[in-house]
Amino acid sequence: MSELEVKTRAEGDPAYQWDLTPIFPDDAAWREALERAGEFIPRLEAFRGRLGSSGESLLEYMALGEEISEAVEPLYGYASLKSDEDTAVSVYQDMRSKARSLLVRLSTASAFATPEIIAIPDGTLEGFYAAAPGLEKYRIALDETRRRRAHILSEREEALLAGAGEVAAAPYNIYNLFESADLKFPDAIDSEGEAHPLSNGSFVTLLHSQDRALRADAFARFYDVYLGMQNTAAALLDAQMKQLKFFSGARGYDSARAAALDVTNVPLPVYDSLVEAVNANLGEMHRYMALRKKLMGLDALHMYDIYTPMVADADAAIPYAQARQTVLEALSVLGEDYGAVLRRAFAERWIDVYENTGKRSGAYSSGLARPHPYILLNHKNTLDSLFTLAHELGHTMHSYLSAKNQPTVYADYVIFVAEVASTVNESLLMRHLLGKTTDRRQRAYLINYFLEQFRTTVYRQTMFAEFEQRCGEMCANGDALTAEALNELYYGLNRRYYGPATEVDERIKIEWARIPHFYYDYYVFQYATGFSAAIAISSRILAEGQSAVGDYLRFLSLGCSKTPIELLKIAGVDMTTPEPVNAALKLFGELIDEMEGLMKE
Catalytic center residues: 392
| CA distances for 525 relative to 265, 306, 459, 558, angstroms | 15, 22, 10, 23
User: In the 8-state DSSP scheme, what is residue 136?
Assistant: G
Beta bridge partners of 196: 188
Instruction: Identify the H or E element spanning 256.
Output: helix 256-263
Taking the C-alpha atoms of residue 378 and residue 16, their distance in angstroms, rounded to an integer, is 11
Q: Where are the beta strands (DSSP E) in 49-116?
A: none
Angle between helices 336-347 and 320-330 (to 10 degrees): 160
- At residue 52, φ and ψ (nearest 5 deg) are -95, 5
Beta bridge partners of 352: 376
| CA distances for 175 relative to 163, 171, 183, 208, 232, angstroms | 21, 6, 11, 26, 9
- At residue 162, φ and ψ (nearest 5 deg) are -65, -40
The number of residues in the chain equals 601
What single string gives the DSSP state of each residue in 469-506?
A: HHHHHHHHTT----HHHHHHHHHHHHHHHH-TTEE--G
Instruction: Identify the H or E element spanning 83.
Output: helix 55-85
Taking the C-alpha atoms of residue 142 and residue 410, their distance in angstroms, rounded to an integer, is 11
User: In the 8-state DSSP scheme, what is residue 572?
Assistant: T
Number of other CB atoms surrounding residue 436 within 10 Å = 12
Contact between 81 and 374 under an 8 Å Cβ cutoff? The reply is yes
Q: Is 112 left (phi over 0), alpha (psi -120 to 50) or beta?
A: alpha
Contact between 255 and 477 under an 8 Å Cβ cutoff? The reply is no
What single string gives the DSSP state of each residue in 315-372?
A: -----HHHHHHHHHHHGGGG-HHHHHHHHHHHHTT-EE-S-BTTPPSS-EE----SS-
Report how far apart the first and last C-alpha atoms of the chain are (Å, whole number): 43
Taking the C-alpha atoms of residue 389 and residue 425, their distance in angstroms, rounded to an integer, is 9
Contact between 458 and 525 under an 8 Å Cβ cutoff? The reply is no
Taking the C-alpha atoms of residue 411 and residue 259, their distance in angstroms, rounded to an integer, is 23
Sign of CA dihedral 82, 85, 90, 96: positive
Comparing C-alpha atoms, which of 263, 271, 244 is closest to residue 474? 244
Angle at Cα 586 formed by Cα 458 and Cα 296, nearest 5°?
70
How buried is 425 (Cβ within 10 angstroms: 0-12 exposed, 13-18 middle, 19+ buried)?
A: buried
Contact between 16 and 365 under an 8 Å Cβ cutoff? The reply is no
User: In the 8-state DSSP scheme, what is residue 198?
Assistant: -
